[in-house]
Structure 1
Amino acid sequence: MELNNSIGVSASGLRAQSLRMRVIAENLANSDSVAKTPDADPYRRRVATFTAEVDRASGATQVAVKSIEGDKSQFGRVYQPGSPAADVQGYVSQPNVNPLIEAADMKAAQRSYEANLNAIESARGMTMRTIDLLK
């Protein structure tokens, strides 16, 4: 029973990190998405946050998505007077996505995903060894 709980906890971690990687990929894909008009905002970086949640059936604490929120940091500005998105001074607001931060977040999410996958494999291996002993 405890091995099933550990597999459930690790599976919730896999789902959480998978969602985190999708959000990071979306951020990277939109890192050059500026607004179409001067008064509109460009793409705003999104960040997934998680919380611990108790599974009532098993009593195990699992990972759940709390929210996916926009990053409140300021947009960059680039001087491009010919752009349709330029303001009266000729500046275009750029998305607040930093590819280096996204790459570091992606690496951390991948490592966490791999750790959860290894935990599931270990629990599965222990279950199989237990079954073999009972034969």
Structure 2
Amino acid sequence: MLGISQLSVRVSDVERAVRFYNGVLGLPLLFSQSNMALVDCQGIRLLLGIPEKPEFDHPGSTIYFKVADIEEAYRTLETAKVELAGKPHKVAEFNGYAVWMAFFYDPDRNLHALTSEVPVN
């Protein structure tokens, strides 16, 4: 195995998903058509797609987006009126870092998170 090349996120409206993932989260748009789009997340493609069959239409996995400043990223989402599921909070401390997270929903109610690793003094 060489690593992850692409993840898929189930969406109901591709244009709305592109406005969110590209416009709000700032992920570069690679490709878009009526039933799917691809955005770039630091070399990993996120496929934003309308499910092809009913058995594929279910909530997806949580994606943890790494950010340098979790408070600033949280404020950006707040300003963009993104539905937030809690404020940034420390979830763990190991290897000299504190791991902080803040959860949020995309327009299709897929739960995702901001995450940041802050050096512990």
Q: TM-score if structure 1 supplies the norm length?
A: 0.26
If asked which structure has higher relative contact order (CA below 8 Å, sep 6+), I would say 1
The structure carrying a bigger strand percent of its residues is 2
| Bigger Rg over Cα | 1
Q: TM-score if structure 2 supplies the norm length?
A: 0.28
The structure carrying a bigger helix percent of its residues is 1
